[in-house]
Amino acid sequence: MYVLIGGAGLIGLNLAQKLVDLGHTVAVIDINPAACCYAREQMGVMAFEGSAVSTDILLQAGIRKADALAAVLHNDALNLAMVALAKHYGVPRILVRMRHRDFAEPYRMVGATSVISTIDLAVSTMVNAIEYPQIESVMHFEQDQIEVLKLPISAASQIANRSLAQIAQDPCFPTGALIIGYQAHPHEDLVIPNGSTILEAGSTVLMVTKPGAMHQVIDFMQGCNSAL
């Protein structure tokens, strides 16, 4: 994909590097000459010096052919303008970094397909790390209606060395939870498990749950007395 990034700060440059590593073609726009020089010389991405809300610069950067655009400028007003211009030029996927929640609805109104609040993400990550240290990571979807948890399976876990079918039939298995991914070892690929998949100690699972179910999931993993 061709991805256009407005803003070559820490987020913009790190995003660009990740996308390049994944094989995408990336261009950044920033008013800072040093940031543009770094992007070109150290990262190998295209960089356009100028305002990311200038139609001339956006057209030079190829906004008409962009498959996705990320607006990560320093303030919401500029990001809002960039999102509106991206929508005008027909960019199909428009992502924006939001600083203040008051901009959530305006961003969606002008065409953002994904609105990411950096404050909410940071706070949520810290709260989860304090509240649920057993969970490696948590992702939220559909306005926090669904959570995806990444959980390690210790040798002491009651689901270790059991099949997915056995676990699903356990009366203690949390209602509304579903195991959707399994990684046997860190160096192996994540796979979609089936009923016969044995969850080995030392492996990792991805689980989908409803918000508020994390305590139930952790309690189950750590030792509800199974009826099986």
pLDDT at position 138 is: 61
Domain region containing 80: 2-118
107 in the same domain as 25: yes
20 in the same domain as 39: yes
Residue ending a domain, choose from 65, 98, 118: 118
Residue 60 resides in a domain:
yes
Residue 20 resides in a domain:
yes
Split into its structural domains, the chain has a count of: 2
pLDDT at position 226 is: 43
52 in the same domain as 105: yes
Predicted TM-score (pTM) of the model is 0.67
How would residue 224 be classed by pLDDT, with cut points 50, 70 and 90? very low
Residue 228 resides in a domain:
no
203 in the same domain as 96: no
- Judge whether residue 110 has pLDDT over 60: yes
Residue ending a domain, choose from 100, 118, 136: 118
Tokens of 128: 């989860």
102 in the same domain as 19: yes
17 in the same domain as 113: yes
Distance CA 105, CA 109 (A): 6
Residue 69 resides in a domain:
yes
Per-residue pLDDT reduced to its tens digit, 69-97 = 999 999 999 999 999 999 999 999 999 99
Residue 78 resides in a domain:
yes
Higher pLDDT, residue 137 or 156: 156
Per-residue pLDDT reduced to its tens digit, 148-182 = 888 888 888 888 899 999 988 888 888 878 888 99
113 in the same domain as 132: no
Tokens of 70: 């990320």
Whichever domain contains 170, its CATH number is: 3.30.70.1450
Residue 64 resides in a domain:
yes
Q: Sort residue 223 into left (φ over 0), alpha (ψ -120 to 50) or beta.
A: left
Q: Quick one: CA torsion of 34, 38, 44, 47, rounded to 10 degrees?
A: -20
Q: Which amino acid is at 56?
A: D
Q: 26 has which bridge partners?
A: 3
Residue ending a domain, choose from 83, 99, 118: 118
7 in the same domain as 112: yes
Per-residue pLDDT reduced to its tens digit, 12-25 = 999 999 999 999 99
110 in the same domain as 153: no
- Judge whether residue 207 has pLDDT over 90: no
Residue 123 resides in a domain:
no
159 in the same domain as 104: no
Whichever domain contains 57, its CATH number is: 3.40.50.720
154 in the same domain as 90: no
82 in the same domain as 18: yes
Give the contacts of 174 (CB within 8 A, at least 6 positions apart). 209, 213, 216, 217, 220
Residue 18 resides in a domain:
yes
